[in-house]
């Protein structure tokens, strides 16, 4: 037998691309020069992904400013003082604040199309959840643009983001839902989480059962500059609601959990028979590269709780969700991916 294994998404950008992004932001280089550096990084990323033996690859998000803000790059109706996301080490990331009508400026299929020109391997495309983008709308509203209209525009844009990637030939489309666990830190009552799930289901309900087999949801406690934003939130509070999302696949951070058996028991109890669960077997925040044997054993543990016909593996998180994160090297990221691929193969042989 074999077990499916997929990456989550981002790979650390090479130094030359990070420099080019900075130069572009300050006007020292133009769009064309930035595109040259981005293309060079993309080609190298795809080549190195192929060398790991990963049966499914990504573009490493080399062209995204971040996993969350790519759809609004170029949107004029923004102010810089939006919601603040605090991480455990004290650093923060701040989202922009919407000041006028919203629409997607970029759809994820553009990244997929660029990658497809350089590889014939199956490509997974990550998109941001509608619930994350909903955080751009301020609590006191936007003059002349009410929240109901914003939500309608957001749902339309999020549907198009997924559908265009499916139509462009994505092997699978992954909805990044890191705000799910964070929502329980912001609102321990669970009301915000439920609102997020309901919003994302309004998007998912626009797809057929067959289409949803290629759509997945990724959850993790954040991963930026070797820090997290919600690892202290009990998974048991998230997982029942998570599996109410009407998606076919779930990518669940697990390698960095202190009690994986407890989490796996909750996955067993709350996931549904039609849902495949990809468990995280490598930890992007840990600088040590896991051995294939460690990965194998993590898979075998997961197989005690999840039927093998519904089991897959993944990395816990992306390795660099924000373009400027250099806490993990490209070499480490690809070494961990190679260990995931080989360890999954070893486990499959035993299973």
106: number of Cβ within 10 Å: 18
Q: Report the pLDDT value the prediction gives residue 245, as an integer from 0 to 100.
A: 98
Q: Do residues 298 and 260 touch, judged by C-beta distance below 8 A?
A: yes
Please state whether beta strands 5-6 and 249-252 pair in parallel, antiparallel, or not at all (unpaired): unpaired
pLDDT in tens, 81-134: 999 999 999 999 999 999 999 999 999 999 999 999 999 999 999 999 999 999
Q: Is the dihedral of CA 33, 118, 215, 189 positive or negative?
A: negative
pTM of the predicted protein model: 0.96
- Find how far residue 251's CA is from the centre of its chain: 9
Q: Which domains does the chain have, with CATH numbers?
A: 5-350 (3.20.20.210)
Q: What is the 3-state secondary structure (H, E, C) of the chain?
A: CCCCEECCCCCCCCHHHHHHHHHHHCCCCCHHHHHHHHHHHHHHHHHHHHHCCCCCECCCCCCCCECCCHHHCCCCCEECCCCEEECCCCCEEECCEECCCCCCCCCCHHHHHHHHCCCCCCEEEEEECHHHHHHHCCCCCECCECHHHHHHHHHHHHHHHHHHHHHCCCCEEEEECCHHHHHHHHCCCCHHHHHHHHHHHHHHCCCCHHHHCCEEEEECCCCECCECCCCCCCHHHHHHHHCCCCCCEEEECCCCCCCHHHHHHHHHHHCCCCCEEEEEEECCCCCCCCCHHHHHHHHHHHHCCCCHHHEEEEECCCCCCECCCCCCCHHHHHHHHHHHHHHHHHHHHHC
Whole-angstrom distance, CA of residue 239 vs CA of residue 78? 33
- Find how far residue 83's CA is from the centre of its chain: 19
Pair of tokens at residue 323: 């373009």
pLDDT in tens, 51-89: 999 999 999 999 999 999 999 999 999 999 999 999 999
Q: Report the pLDDT value the prediction gives residue 14, as an integer from 0 to 100.
A: 96
232, with CB counted inside 10 A (0-12, 13-18, 19+), is: exposed
- Residues in CB range of 110: below 8 A, 6 or more apart: none
- Residue 345: CA count within 13 A, CB half-sphere: 12
For the chain (351 residues), the mean pLDDT of every run of 10, in chain order, is: 95 96 94 96 98 97 94 95 95 96 97 97 98 97 97 98 98 97 96 98 98 98 94 96 98 97 98 98 97 98 98 97 93 98 98 95
Q: Report the pLDDT value the prediction gives residue 1, as an integer from 0 to 100.
A: 81
């Amino acid at each position: 037998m074999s077990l499916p294994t997929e990456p989550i998404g981002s790979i650390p950008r090479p130094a030359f691309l990070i420099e080019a992004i900075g130069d572009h932001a300050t006007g020292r280089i133009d769009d064309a020069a930035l595109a040259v550096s981005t293309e060079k990084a993309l080609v190298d990323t795809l080549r190195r992904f192929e060398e790991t033996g990963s049966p499914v690859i990504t573009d490493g998000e080399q062209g995204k400013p971040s996993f969350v803000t790519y759809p609004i790059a170029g949107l004029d109706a923004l102010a810089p003082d939006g919601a603040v996301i605090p991480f455990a080490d004290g650093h923060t990331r701040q989202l922009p604040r919407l000041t006028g009508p919203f629409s997607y400026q970029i759809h994820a299929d553009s990244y997929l199309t660029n990658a497809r020109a350089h590889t014939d391997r199956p490509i997974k495309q990550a998109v941001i959840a509608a619930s994350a983008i909903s955080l751009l709308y301020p609590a006191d509203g936007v003059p002349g643009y009410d929240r109901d209209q914003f939500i309608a525009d957001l749902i339309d844009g999020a549907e198009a983001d997924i559908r265009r990637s499916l139509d462009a030939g994505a092997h699978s489309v992954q909805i990044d839902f890191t705000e799910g666990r964070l929502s329980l830190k912001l609102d321990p009552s669970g009301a915000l989480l439920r609102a997020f799930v309901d919003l994302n289901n309004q998007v998912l309900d626009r797809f057929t059962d067959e289409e949803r087999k290629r759509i997945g949801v990724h959850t993790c406690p954040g991963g930026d500059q070797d820090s997290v934003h919600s690892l202290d939130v009990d998974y048991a509070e998230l997982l029942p609601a998570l599996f109410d999302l009407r998606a076919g696949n779930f990518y669940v951070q697990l390698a960095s959990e202190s009690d994986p058996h407890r989490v796996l028991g909750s996955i067993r109890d709350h996931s549904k028979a039609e849902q495949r669960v990809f468990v995280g077997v490598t930890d992007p925040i840990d600088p040590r590269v896991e051995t294939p044997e460690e990965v194998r054993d993590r898979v075998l543990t997961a197989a005690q709780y999840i039927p093998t016909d519904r089991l897959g593996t993944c990395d816990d998180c992306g390795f660099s969700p924000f373009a400027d994160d250099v806490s993990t090297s490209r070499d480490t990221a690809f070494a961990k991916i190679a260990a995931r691929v080989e360890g999954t193969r070893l486990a499959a042989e035993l299973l």
